[in-house]
Amino acid sequence: MGSINAAVDVRQQGGVAVVAMDNPPVNALGFVLRSGLMQAMEQLRSDPSVKAVVLSGTARAFSGGADITEFGQASRDPNLRQVIAAIEDMPMPVVAAIQGVALGGGLELALGCHARVAWATARVGLPEVKLGLLPGAGGTQRLPRIVGVEKALAMIVTGNPIGAKEAAECGLVDALLDGAYPDAAVEWARGVQDRRRVRDREDALEPARADPGLIDRIAAPLLKASGAAAPRACVESVRGAVTMAFEEGLANERQLFEGLVTGDESRAQRYAFFAEREAQKAVLPAGTQARPVARAAVIGAGTMGGGIAMCFANAGIPVTVIETEQAALDRGMARIAELYGISAKRGSITATQAEERRGRIQGRLGLEGVEGADIVVEAVFEDMGVKKQVFAALDRLAKPGAVLATNTSYLDIDEIASVTSRPGDVLGMHFFSPANVMKLLEVVRGGQTSPEVIATAADVGKKLAKVGVVVGNCFGFVGNRMLARRSDAAERLLLDGASPAEVDAALVAFGFRMGPFAMGDMAGLDIGMRIRKAFGKRAPVSDALCEAGRYGQKTGSGYYLYEGRNARPDPEVDRIIAAESAKLGITRHPVGAEEITERLVYPMINEGARILEEGIAARPGDIDAIWLHGYNWPAWRGGPMFYADLVGLARIRDRLQDFFAATGDELLRPAPLLVKLADAGQGFGGEKARAA
């Protein structure tokens, strides 16, 4: 007994052997941990003094699942399926003691045990679908045998984990314990007589066996319109649990898993998993320390300010919301209370939590309310003059060392900072709407922002559960700057002959939830028009729609005609577009779906190349994380820069060259970095950089 290897330790506690997994940070089931578990089982199975085994993890994780970094490499035995089979065949009961997460292969390991006990902190689930995979170590066969097909499909197809209480309610865990870990499980294991294997349970499958249409009825709403392959494969694998014998179902699951793990979709999603984590590691001088943040202030109680204040309150940080007029403050505070009320009603938080969170938000009139705040986030109207006034006042009123952030989505951070005597403390924190929901936060470093202030904003981002990505200062930063290229392209497509519905359909087929025009109608077309006016720019079709009073959903018409939220094409829009084309002397012609997609996406990639070249983003993965978390880029396409590498930069260079030749638009001329890499037969290399 004692240490088996670097990741596994075995000790005896009066007839019960504790097999402790300790492979930081999350007990990923890499080769060392798997072989340690295998050796431990071999050692214990023939030991007559061992009456039961407890398999334990750490406070953070029972196990976070298979080691994702091993996918795509040659597999090394014992594989996870073999380890699980060895546990299942132990002659004495094996009990999984779950604290923290048991996810993916981690939960599959627990399902190989004869019983499971959990502590209140446990979160269990099969999130493989989020990596473009399905649970490939028996999860699709064993989980439905315990919780039934309906619950299993919900967990496997969405990938969303459940908490300890829910796991106990559905029988996934046999008992909730609250004593010392894992000693309470050792005590519990002494009472276990039954060592029935999960694979031998059949009762929970009966309803689906008796009703062949049941699986499809349950699966249909879960699959929705997703174009990804993994959710469908998950359903097929669960179907195998119902229609096949256990071993056959297992072989079917394995085959489906192998098909996914070698495909581009899973490669993209695994890349995205790591890009998201890497993007949050700001490139800063060694030893840079974040400043402590105990109190925040948000200027502006509008939709954005209110949402940002809720983020602080949700993270346990008291926050003052500041307005200039009582009525605006009252409206903002009422809206916040309403949103918390809705969350409590839906059950996503308890009524007590809602009350606590709301209690952390205090409303104040006047900028004097920023006193005592360690961080101030300004979320007032997007107007340079107004922002400068606010920052000049903040310079007088905020305490020394406070981080002064603006939530602008495109204005120049340096110009805003220039009205203060402390430009080192000023930066952008660009939240996305609705701020309390969207995960992205662009942390915008100004020319003089100190590393310490960037570290503080990044640290605050983490506390607020955001994906905080540090970017440079330029018009629109990373996300909106690239989005502008897509909007230009979408306008141009209309003028050339495509309809709004064709453009939207192409982007939805690509994997976005909405096309640019449906999205514009939802957000309000007047917003874009105001920004364009401020910068002396025009978008002929959008401007013409606005001039006709068509602002989108809120006016009942925009690019489409609305009955409630239902959109339908409007011949009037076709006339407006044709008139604008004629004014510009453009001969309209049909545009195919593939060309539409290329013309929307490649200019964004081109802009991404410029952004990298200028150092506005530090890594291609940072750009991808921004698009995945702020703009609904389909996860299974990895992000625009990953997608570019998949398509091949030579193709993108050549098509951009075509677009440039056709329009003379300088922004469509292939960017020097793109040309250089394409000529050298290389890609942006986000994925390779990670693997290195």
> Cα(114)–Cα(665) distance, rounded to whole angstroms?
66
> Cα(137)–Cα(126) distance, rounded to whole angstroms?
11
The catalytic position among 42, 70, 88, 128 is 128
Contact between 144 and ligand 3H9 by CB under 6 A: the answer reads no
| Spatial contact of 84 and 108, defined as CB atoms under 8 Å apart | yes
- Binding mask of the shown chain, residues 256 to 285, with x at each position contacting ligand 3H9 by CB under 6 A: ------------------x--x--------
Q: Is 5 strand, coil or helix?
A: coil
Number of residues forming the site for ligand 3H9 (CB under 6 A): 26
CB of 134 to ligand 3H9, least distance (A): 7
Q: Is 297 strand, coil or helix?
A: strand
Among 195, 190, 402, CA closest to 296: 402
Q: In this chain, which stretch among 98-106, 245-253, 480-488, 532-540 interacts with ligand 3H9, using CB under 6 A?
A: 98-106
Contact between 25 and ligand 3H9 by CB under 6 A: the answer reads yes
Q: In this chain, which stretch among 85-93, 132-140, 186-194, 230-238 interacts with ligand 3H9, using CB under 6 A?
A: 132-140
> Cα(248)–Cα(199) distance, rounded to whole angstroms?
12
Beta bridge partners of 525: none
CB of 135 to ligand 3H9, least distance (A): 4
Instruction: Name 40's Cβ contacts closer than 8 Å, sequence gap at least 6.
Output: 4, 8, 10, 19
> Cα(110)–Cα(676) distance, rounded to whole angstroms?
50
Contact between 128 and ligand 3H9 by CB under 6 A: the answer reads yes
Contact between 26 and ligand 3H9 by CB under 6 A: the answer reads yes
Instruction: Name 511's Cβ contacts closer than 8 Å, sequence gap at least 6.
Output: 227, 228, 633, 634, 636, 637
Q: Which one of residues 28, 94, 172, 455 is an interface residue with ligand 3H9 (CB under 6 A)?
A: 28
Is 614 labeled as catalytic in the residue annotation? no
Contact between 105 and ligand 3H9 by CB under 6 A: the answer reads yes
State both tokens at 570.
Answer: 């409007």
Among 421, 413, 210, 435, CA closest to 306: 435
Comparing CB distances to ligand 3H9, the nearer of 254 and 331 is: 254
Contact between 692 and ligand 3H9 by CB under 6 A: the answer reads no
> Cα(212)–Cα(477) distance, rounded to whole angstroms?
52
Helix orientation angle between 540-547 and 525-534, rounded to the nearest 10 degrees? 110
Contact between 112 and ligand 3H9 by CB under 6 A: the answer reads no
Q: In this chain, which stretch among 129-137, 308-316, 537-545, 564-572 interacts with ligand 3H9, using CB under 6 A?
A: 129-137
Comparing CB distances to ligand 3H9, the nearer of 108 and 323 is: 108
Is 166 labeled as catalytic in the residue annotation? no
Comparing CB distances to ligand 3H9, the nearer of 58 and 542 is: 58
Contact between 506 and ligand 3H9 by CB under 6 A: the answer reads no
Contact between 135 and ligand 3H9 by CB under 6 A: the answer reads yes
Q: Which one of residues 65, 144, 231, 240 is an interface residue with ligand 3H9 (CB under 6 A)?
A: 65
Residue with smallest beta-carbon separation from ligand 3H9:
104
State both tokens at 266.
Answer: 């899973």
Contact between 103 and ligand 3H9 by CB under 6 A: the answer reads yes
Give the side-chain half-sphere CA count within 13 A for 6: 7
CB of 229 to ligand 3H9, least distance (A): 16
Comparing CB distances to ligand 3H9, the nearer of 261 and 489 is: 261
Q: In this chain, which stretch among 44-52, 100-108, 168-176, 657-665 interacts with ligand 3H9, using CB under 6 A?
A: 100-108
> Cα(58)–Cα(27) distance, rounded to whole angstroms?
8
Contact between 687 and ligand 3H9 by CB under 6 A: the answer reads no
CB of 146 to ligand 3H9, least distance (A): 16
Q: Is 106 exposed, middle or buried (0-12, 13-18, 19+ CB in 10 A)?
A: buried
CB of 364 to ligand 3H9, least distance (A): 34
Looking at residue 233, its amino acid is A
Task: Report the phi/psi class of residue 639: left, alpha or beta, with left for phi > 0 and alpha for psi in -120 to 50.
Answer: left
Q: In this chain, which stretch among 101-109, 144-152, 190-198, 566-574 interacts with ligand 3H9, using CB under 6 A?
A: 101-109
Contact between 67 and ligand 3H9 by CB under 6 A: the answer reads yes
Q: Are strands 2-3 and 162-163 parallel, antiparallel or unpaired?
A: unpaired
CB of 130 to ligand 3H9, least distance (A): 6
Q: In this chain, which stretch among 63-71, 284-292, 379-387, 628-636 interacts with ligand 3H9, using CB under 6 A?
A: 63-71
Contact between 104 and ligand 3H9 by CB under 6 A: the answer reads yes
Pairs from 244-251 (Cβ < 8 Å, separation ≥ 24): 246/141, 246/199, 249/140, 249/141, 250/81, 250/138, 250/141
> Cα(628)–Cα(632) distance, rounded to whole angstroms?
5
How far, rounded to the nearest angstrom, does the alpha carbon of residue 130 sit from its chain's CA centroid?
A: 9
Contact between 394 and ligand 3H9 by CB under 6 A: the answer reads no
Residue 275 CA: distances (Å) to CA of 158, 280, 460: 21, 9, 19
Comparing CB distances to ligand 3H9, the nearer of 83 and 484 is: 83
In the chain, the largest separation of any two C-alpha atoms, in whole Å, equals 91
CB of 285 to ligand 3H9, least distance (A): 20
Q: Which one of residues 10, 86, 92, 131 is an interface residue with ligand 3H9 (CB under 6 A)?
A: 131
Q: Which one of residues 21, 40, 50, 66 is an interface residue with ligand 3H9 (CB under 6 A)?
A: 66
Give the side-chain half-sphere CA count within 13 A for 331: 11
> Cα(175)–Cα(191) distance, rounded to whole angstroms?
12
The catalytic position among 42, 70, 88, 108 is 108
Contact between 511 and ligand 3H9 by CB under 6 A: the answer reads no
| Spatial contact of 348 and 310, defined as CB atoms under 8 Å apart | no
CB of 565 to ligand 3H9, least distance (A): 34
Beta bridge partners of 162: 124
CB of 132 to ligand 3H9, least distance (A): 10
Q: Which one of residues 9, 21, 62, 64 is an interface residue with ligand 3H9 (CB under 6 A)?
A: 64
CB of 9 to ligand 3H9, least distance (A): 21
Query: How many beta carbons lie within 10 A of that of residue 466, not counting itself?
Result: 24
DSSP 201: -
Q: Which one of residues 83, 137, 470, 541 is an interface residue with ligand 3H9 (CB under 6 A)?
A: 137
CB of 469 to ligand 3H9, least distance (A): 14
Comparing CB distances to ligand 3H9, the nearer of 131 and 626 is: 131
Overall residue count recorded for the chain in this entry: 692
Give the 3-state DSSP-derived string for 129-174, with helices as H, strands as E and coil as C: HHHCCCCCCCHHHHHHHHHCHHHHHHHHHHCCCEEHHHHHHCCCCC
CB of 260 to ligand 3H9, least distance (A): 10
| Spatial contact of 139 and 156, defined as CB atoms under 8 Å apart | yes
Q: Which one of residues 36, 57, 127, 558 is an interface residue with ligand 3H9 (CB under 6 A)?
A: 127
Residues that bind ligand 3H9 (CB under 6 A): 25-26, 28, 61, 64-69, 80, 101, 103-105, 108, 127-128, 131, 133, 135-137, 139, 274, 277
Which residues are marked as active site?
108, 128
